[in-house]
Amino acid sequence: MREMVRQGNSDMARSAIVFGSRLSPFVEKVVRALAMKGIGFRLVEPRGPGDFGKWNPQTRKMPALELDGERMYDSTFIVRRLDAIVPEPALVASDPRVSAAQRQLEDWADESLYWYGMALRWCTRNKAATARQILGALPAPLRAIASVILPRQIRASTMAQGLGRLPHDVLVRELGGHLDDLMAILDRRPFFFGDRASVADLAVYGQFCMLRSGPTPEAEALLRQRKGLLDHMHRVEEVAAVS
């Protein structure tokens, strides 16, 4: 367990517990939302498959968050609840047209961009590096079992979703096209749809972190070729700094 807090905010008296790994783009989204809200947190990382059911009996997925005695699940619902608990800075715009666009982009990042990352992480050429990355902290006996079972399970999920069926070069080409679309949406604004970071920026940022985490060098190369997206990541890190 590690203590991570953002300094210099009046809400630092509050402290949350985040259950999950920051390798997950959804955990990263929540962590950055907490940082923007100035809420300190303690990160509790998984040590075995049973942890997920213990933390989140509803879906057995990351993240779960505990704040002020309340247990919350699902990154979208967590961030929405954080906005209700600590209204400023708001994570959606007051203009309903802008907030609708922000929520739509958040949903696309969570439900579509995520699967491009997963398909690349668990494709034939990258699955060994991905397994080493996410299973490295497990005890040796669990690691040996999970290294056989997990790649098969997740690969089956990406195949069922559909992107896992695409040839590797097509998958990379399509991801590049979506990154170009994000560049066009961002345009010359510092953040998506405005001058302030929102749930859209946090969701996209989390997915970019996953794409740049190591096992998918082809995705990282696509991002390096698009300086505007890297600059966007830096701006998110400035307004939602985690130490």
| pLDDT, tens digit (0-9, with 9 covering 90-100), for 184-227 | 999 999 999 999 999 999 999 999 999 999 999 999 999 999 99
Distance of CA 204 to the CA centre of its chain: 8
150 lies in some domain: yes
pLDDT of residue 132: 86
CA gap 75, 213 in Å, rounded: 20
Could you tell me if residue 195 is inside a domain?
A: yes
Kindly report, residue by residue over 85-103, the tens digit of the pLDDT.
999 999 999 999 999 999 9
Last residue of a domain, one of 51, 85, 119: 85
Q: Who's near 233: CB < 8 A, 6+ residues apart? A: 205, 208, 209
The pLDDT, as a whole number, for residue 174 is 98
CATH of the domain at 123: 1.20.1050.10
The crossing angle, in degrees rounded to 10, of helices 199-211 and 25-37 is 140
pLDDT at 10 > cutoff 80: no
User: Does the CA dihedral 116-27-130-50 come out positive or negative?
Assistant: negative
* Range scoring the smallest mean pLDDT among 44-48, 90-94, 157-161: 44-48
State mean pLDDT over 154-183.
96
Chain-centroid distance, C-alpha 236: 13
At 4 the pLDDT is 42
Instruction: Looking at the structure, tell me whether residues 143 and 105 fall in a common domain.
Output: yes
Final residue of a structural domain among 52, 85, 118: 85
The answer on 7 and 111 residing in a single domain is no
Residue ranges making up the domain that contains 64: 2-85
State mean pLDDT over 155-180: 96
Record the pTM: 0.91
Query: Does one domain contain both 130 and 218?
Result: yes
| pLDDT on residue 143 | 60
Percent over 90 (pLDDT), the chain: 75
Asked if pLDDT for residue 7 goes beyond 90, the answer is: no
Counted domains in the chain: 2
